[in-house]
Amino acid sequence: MADDNIMLENVRYMFVIDDDPVQTAMISDYLKERYIFELKTYENGEDAMKDVASLTPEIVVLDYHLNSSNSGAKNGIEILKDIKKVSPETKVIMFSGQDNINIALESMRNGAYDYIIKGETAFNKMENTVNRLGEMHKMEAVNIAQKRTIIFLAVALSIFVLLGVLYFFFGAPMFE
């Protein structure tokens, strides 16, 4: 984690990047019913990349084929690589109709958290994945809070010990 404060922000973003408006609406509705993320949708990766650096989404649901409306658009793997360059802490869930092990492996090699094939059980799998990521987020936030508490206690103890040493060597408090 480059910046511990990212885990403690109030607004948590989730992006859905899919060039199929029906699929995007279904995913968005499903996720909005279940989670409190600020959800943003995009029909291509190039538009999403404009917001990745400034909003730092916690999770991105990314389709593999993103060129139905623009044949020159980057595919999901290329966008995944771009996201990981700009925001390495963002978890990317590849959501694709491609039941191809090579695409799945390439996605995982390039930093995808999970690869889900569109189908009957895809939304349940996505829910399970987002739930796991939510648990990871909670554990990371608790870990950060514990680290800050330990640092505070270490500083307080150091000050207390220093005052004790000064009292021992000089025999009286310095503030009299």
Distance CA 73, CA 79 (A): 10
* CA separation, residue 149 to residues 56, 91, 153, 168 (Å): 26, 27, 6, 28
Query: Is the Cα torsion angle 157, 161, 164, 166 positive or negative in sign?
Result: negative
- pLDDT per residue rounded down to tens, the chain (176 residues): 444 444 445 788 999 999 888 889 999 998 888 888 899 999 899 999 999 989 999 999 999 888 766 777 788 999 999 999 999 999 999 998 888 899 899 999 999 999 999 888 888 898 999 989 888 878 888 898 999 999 999 999 999 999 888 888 877 655 55
69: phi then psi, degrees, rounded to nearest 5:
-100, -15
Q: Which one-letter amino acid corresponds to residue 5? A: N
Residue 105 is predicted with a pLDDT of 93
Residue 85 is predicted with a pLDDT of 96
Radius of gyration of the chain (CA): 23
Q: Which listed CATH number (3.40.50.1220, 3.30.1330.10, 3.40.50.2300, 1.10.760.10) goes with 4-141?
A: 3.40.50.2300
pTM (two decimals): 0.74
Element spanning 120, H or E: none
Per DSSP bridges, beta strands 114-117 and 91-96 are: parallel
